[in-house]
């Protein structure tokens, strides 16, 4: 906040009211930001738990650990050699 933004006050009471109102505004802004942060953190924890459950389920089913077929490996190696420097 620049000194240019601070208005001139005609009395101490007016200045006190100004600073009190400004502090309440900042306090409200802080509380809203804190609430949003807590909500974000809760959502992140839920998402992490969901992704971890999916990972465990995929590992248990063995679908993600299946070996590629020999033809797939040959195609991958061919592509690698064609495009490698």
For 33, the domain range is 11-63
Q: What share of the chain is helix, strand, coil (3-state, %, to 5)?
A: 80, 0, 20
pTM of the model: 0.55
CA angle 37, 46, 43 (to 5 degrees): 25
pLDDT value at residue 60: 76
The structural domain count of the chain equals 1
Q: Is the residue at 30 inside a domain? A: yes
The pLDDT tens digits for 26-85 are 999 999 999 999 999 999 999 999 999 888 888 777 655 556 566 666 666 665 555 555
């Amino acid at each position: 906040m620049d000194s240019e933004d601070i208005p001139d006050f005609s009395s101490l009471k007016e200045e006190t009211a100004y600073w009190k109102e400004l502090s309440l505004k900042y306090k409200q802004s802080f509380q809203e930001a804190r609430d949003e942060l807590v909500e974000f953190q809760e959502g992140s924890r839920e998402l992490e738990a969901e992704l971890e459950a999916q990972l465990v389920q995929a590992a248990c089913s063995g679908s993600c650990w299946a070996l590629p077929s020999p033809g797939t490996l040959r195609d991958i190696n061919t592509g690698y050699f064609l495009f490698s420097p």
